[in-house]
Amino acid sequence: MKRSNGSSRLRINSDMDPLKAQTSPGHHRSSSPSSKPTKSTILLIIASFTIALGLLIGCYSILSSGKNRRVSLRYSVIIDGGSSGTRIHVFRYRIESGKPVFDFGDENYASLKLSPGFSAYADNPEGASESVTELVEFAKTRVPKGMLKEIDIRLMATAGMRLLELNVQERILEVTRRVLRSSGFRFQDEWAFVISGSDEGIYAWVVANHALGSLGGDSLQTTGIVELGGASTQVTFVSSEIVPPEFSRTISYGNVSYQLYSHSFLHLGQDSAQEKLLESLHNSANSTGEGKVPDPCTPKGYILDTNSQKDLPGFLAEKGNFIASLQASGNFSECRSAVFAMLQEGKDKCTYKHCSIGSIFTPNLQGRFLATENFFHTSKFFGLGEKDWLSEMILAGKRFCGEEWWKLKVKYPTFKDEKLLRYCFSSAYIVSMLHDSLGVALDDERIEFASEAGEEDIPLDWALGAFILNTAPTSDYSGKSRKILDLSKYKI
């Protein structure tokens, strides 16, 4: 019922006597004070009073329900400590009939990313406090000031932190905890931690299927996720194969349980893999004593200024000796071959039925897939279409890798060197991982690159999945705030 309708029904014409309106024509009613009201008149009065009372109650209910909707608004804040940067997510949602209702539109969701990631502060943990403080201040502008103490804030770090030694991780986390304790938000020390790679993959799978409307439905109708991050790559999907326990995860959403294959290939994110390849080429140059060896993944003509490494990508800025020992040769096919050899390292030690990447078990990909993060960014850079994009990636990569560096600088004048340098390697890496290693056909329309999904264009960010999975009620949900669960220890 709309409030305007309720109000209009309460309008009563003060000039009309409701009793007169019900008097039948041709019947004389005495106006004498001594005359007694008839039974029908009494019933009419009671009925009129009942109707009026009902309208008043209805109007109150409308106003009250509007108030309850405002009171039922909830907020949640998650900080994603990624390898290339740190992003804060501020969520607003409402509770209806005891269940959360999610809406990731601009009014209910906001985020901000700062670079670099936490792993950059390995030698200076205190440096992490500045970015966390700035992110917290951003979050405060997106929530009611009077609710700060009621809003949980959590920090979940990913692959960049997983690459660090545990004692270094802990020193950085302790700096962030100190900031979060004094933030004004509700926070507990255990709410700042490093999540596992498979958790990251599962959270990404959750938000993708929520966006597509398949979460809570038939497991065979769900969509898998392949993420290419900076430090790791995640593969998560429902598989009908028998999956070894170390790769199998079970989650429940609503009344449906999902058996998922989920694995994170640490060191095989885009940045880490490129660094690994350059280091391998550098070692090869040292072992042969030839001075410089060809680097097929860097466009021809690129020369490192050894006196200034500002143009290098952040993950290589302190390792310029890698580049200094190499000769940029810009050849997509050779880059693809070098990358494939790297992805297959250790395959001779595979103890499973089949291993697609190294010695890690990977079942055959089933159903639809979304390729996210750097899969998306590289595809958009080259302007690839949604169909046959893997085939197009090969053509685009060949053109880019084979072009002279100075011509690329002219063609892409707004791109910084550190960004532009990535795309020769990235194009070859994507084709080698998806097609050469995981077996995705070049014309397979079941896999799409994406950064958003669903009719509402929900961002495919794993932090949204963490928010959904840990906010939605489960069999043991009490309506109280819960710590984000370590999925390796609990069945959701």
Instruction: Write the DSSP assignment of 158-196 as a string of letters.
Output: -HHHHTS-HHHHHHHHHHHHHHHHTSSSB--GGGEEEPP
Q: pLDDT at residue 50 above 80?
A: no
424 and 317 within one domain: yes
Positive or negative: CA dihedral 189, 203, 343, 292: negative
Residue 337 one-letter amino acid: S
Of the given ranges (112-126, 439-453, 467-481), which has the lowest mean pLDDT? 467-481
Domain assignment present for 244: no
232 labelled ligand-binding? yes
284 and 189 within one domain: no
278 and 130 within one domain: no
Report the CATH number at residue 295.
Answer: 3.30.420.150
- Residue given tokens 């804040």 in the structure block: 77
321 and 184 within one domain: no
Residue 298 burial by Cβ neighbours in a 10 Å radius (0-12, 13-18, 19+)? buried
pLDDT, mean over the chain:
84
Sequence-distant (≥ 6) Cβ neighbours of residue 35 within 8 angstroms: 29
Q: pLDDT at residue 479 above 50?
A: no
Domain assignment present for 96: yes
Segment 124-147 mean pLDDT: 96
393 and 298 within one domain: yes
170 and 296 within one domain: no
22 labelled ligand-binding? no
pLDDT at 194 (0 to 100) = 97
Beta strands, E only, 48-105: 73-81, 86-96, 99-101
Domain end marker among 130, 159, 194: 194
Angle at 301 between CA 298 and CA 307, to 5 degrees: 90
Q: pLDDT at residue 382 above 80?
A: yes
* Residue 473 binned pLDDT confidence (cut-offs 50, 70, 90): low
Task: Identify the bridge partners of residue 256 per DSSP, sorted by sequence position.
Answer: 253
Cβ of 66: how many Cβ atoms within 10 Å? 11
For residue range 393-431, list pLDDT tens digits in order.
Answer: 999 999 999 999 999 999 999 999 989 999 999 999 999
For residue range 79-128, list pLDDT tens digits in order.
Answer: 999 988 999 999 999 988 888 899 999 899 999 999 999 999 999 999 99
User: Of 236, 258, 245, 215, nearest to 352 (Cα)?
Assistant: 245
Q: pLDDT at residue 278 above 60?
A: yes
Cβ of 341: how many Cβ atoms within 10 Å? 12
184 and 327 within one domain: no
234 labelled ligand-binding? yes
Three-state SS at 109: strand
165 and 305 within one domain: no
Cβ of 1: how many Cβ atoms within 10 Å? 11
Tokens for 298, please give them.
């860097």
pLDDT at 40 (0 to 100) = 72
Q: How far is CA 360 from the centre of its chain?
A: 25
pLDDT at 298 (0 to 100) = 94
Helical ranges in 72-231 per DSSP H: 128-140, 159-162, 166-181, 197-212
Q: pLDDT at residue 237 above 60?
A: yes
Positive or negative: CA dihedral 145, 147, 148, 153: negative
450 labelled ligand-binding? no
Tokens for 361, please give them.
């078990």
Q: How many domains in the chain?
A: 2
Give the residue numbers spanning the domain of 151. Answer: 73-194
Domain end marker among 159, 194, 229: 194
35 labelled ligand-binding? no
Domain assignment present for 378: yes
293 and 173 within one domain: no
Task: Identify the bridge partners of residue 265 per DSSP, sorted by sequence position.
Answer: 233
pLDDT at 62 (0 to 100) = 56
Q: What is the DSSP letter of 126?
A: G
For residue range 284-330, list pLDDT tens digits in order.
Answer: 877 666 668 899 999 999 986 544 444 555 545 555 555 667 889 99
For residue range 142-178, list pLDDT tens digits in order.
Answer: 999 999 999 999 999 999 999 999 999 999 999 999 9
390 and 277 within one domain: yes
For residue range 11-41, list pLDDT tens digits in order.
Answer: 333 343 332 333 333 444 444 444 455 667 7
- Residues with catalytic roles: 200
